[in-house]
Amino acid sequence: MEIQKVGVIGAGQMGNGIAHVMALAGYDVLLTDISQQALDAALSTVRGNLARQAGRGKISEADMEAAMARISTTLALADLGQTDLVIEAATEREAVKQAIFEDLQPHLLPHTILTSNTSSISITRLASRTDRPERFMGFHFMNPVPVMQLVELIRGIATDEATFAACKAVVDKLGKTAASAEDFPAFIVNRILMPMINEAVYTLYEGVGNVRSIDESMKLGANHPMGPLELADFIGLDTCLAIMNVLHDGLADTKYRPCPLLTKYVEAGWLGRKTQRGFYDYRGEVPVPTR
């Protein structure tokens, strides 16, 4: 099946990045959100990011304008029923994702493929609540979407080969690399990454090091481009906590227990860059450690 029109649910950081790369690759994109303000902000972000690419000579001005022309927006979720591929990129809460697919289902074309950009939730379980588990899979982009080269493709227990092949063809057309992952909690990247971040928070919690020393140690001692606490702020501490809870609940192993300090930051509303405070305070000109 050839995919031509792509629906993206959620106009946040991931959703606008997905719309960006899809439109640039030649797909018609219909982006939806519950807020017109979020849709307007997403279009502004996409234009800014495309302009940055044009400024660096990676794309032409004509490419930028053509990509923007391929993106349309709607507040009506039902409108996405007329697309060939739907990528859900809403908040990392299973109940929210299930409600979205339930509301969308009556409006879908028979051939429409449903996917979720979830970073940790069971694809099999999400698929089982729809009328097309064989045409449902995980389509997990890395953040920031226009920059990161990897896409995890996750089959649910019922996902058929034609669905996988169609999604793999999309990844290839985007110029990205697909990694096939099995449907276990947090898949590949976050199964490995999140416990490392959680352990960094425990290292802070137990006083082994402060924010700066932990991040500098991993950047200079392990050649990581970002320290784990800096990375957690970039991802969002609420997302990190949600993934750790999925790992802990799904695998029932105490090694995945979220650090109490991570929970405390989330309860305080200090979620990282998006709220201007996390393990660093971003309200000044230079980020300052909060511990």
Annotated binding site for NAD(+): 10-15, 33, 92, 97, 119, 143, 274
User: What is the rounded distance in angstroms from the CA atom of residue 225 to the CA atom of residue 277?
Assistant: 21
> Please, which residues have CB within 8 angstroms of residue 74's CB and are 6 or more apart in sequence?
30, 31, 32, 80
**Phi and psi (nearest 5°) for 87?**
-115, 110
Which residue among 117, 120, 122, 190 is the active-site one? 190
User: What is the rounded distance in angstroms from the CA atom of residue 77 to the CA atom of residue 79?
Assistant: 5
User: What is the rounded distance in angstroms from the CA atom of residue 219 to the CA atom of residue 232?
Assistant: 14
Tokens of 172: 């290839």
* Interhelix angle 228-235/189-205, nearest 10 degrees: 120
Which residue among 16, 49, 116, 119 is the active-site one? 119
Which residue among 49, 117, 152, 198 is the active-site one? 152
Eight-class DSSP state of 119:
S
Amino acid at 200: A
H or E stretch covering 164: helix 161-173
Is 119 among the catalytic positions?
A: yes
Is 107 among the catalytic positions?
A: no
CA 228 to chain centre: 18
Tokens of 80: 């996405």
Eight-class DSSP state of 277:
B
User: What is the rounded distance in angstroms from the CA atom of residue 105 to the CA atom of residue 247?
Assistant: 29
User: What is the rounded distance in angstroms from the CA atom of residue 171 to the CA atom of residue 19?
Assistant: 13
The string over 229-239, giving b where at least 16 C-beta atoms fall within 10 Å of a residue's C-beta and e elsewhere, is bbbbbbbbbbb
Which residue among 88, 122, 140, 198 is the active-site one? 140
Is 122 among the catalytic positions?
A: no
Please give the annotated binding residues, written as ranges: 10-15, 33, 92, 97, 119, 143, 274
Is 152 among the catalytic positions?
A: yes
User: What is the rounded distance in angstroms from the CA atom of residue 212 to the CA atom of residue 268?
Assistant: 21
Q: Active-site residue numbers?
A: 119, 140, 152, 190
